[in-house]
Amino acid sequence: MTNGEVQINTKVVTRTQTGVRIETSLLKVLKALAEYTDLSLGDLLEGIVLHAFEGKAPFQDATQDVIGQLKLVYGCDLTAADSHMLEEKSR
């Protein structure tokens, strides 16, 4: 490693393609946030979940501000209090 380079420790993993159903405006916010942070949607979700599993906040204040703006743009009024309380409307 040369002077000024940062060593990054990566882990090799196996990923599985999955189909999940998620509330529409929430998905729009997540996709936009993934684009904003230059991550894939899967990478963003993995990071959120891994932080949550350790009881850590996944986002800094600046990113929280962006999330708030994206929620307004996409009409997402859901909060943590809505978790496990969502009922899907009939098709």
Residues 22 and 60: beta-carbon distance below 8 Å: no
Residues 78 and 24: beta-carbon distance below 8 Å: no
* pTM recorded for the entire structure: 0.86
Per-residue pLDDT reduced to its tens digit, 35-89: 999 999 999 999 999 999 999 999 999 999 999 999 999 999 999 999 999 999 8
> CA torsion angle for 19, 73, 88, 86 (degrees, to 10)?
100
Which among 3, 38, 22, 9 has a CA at the least distance from the CA of 74?
A: 22
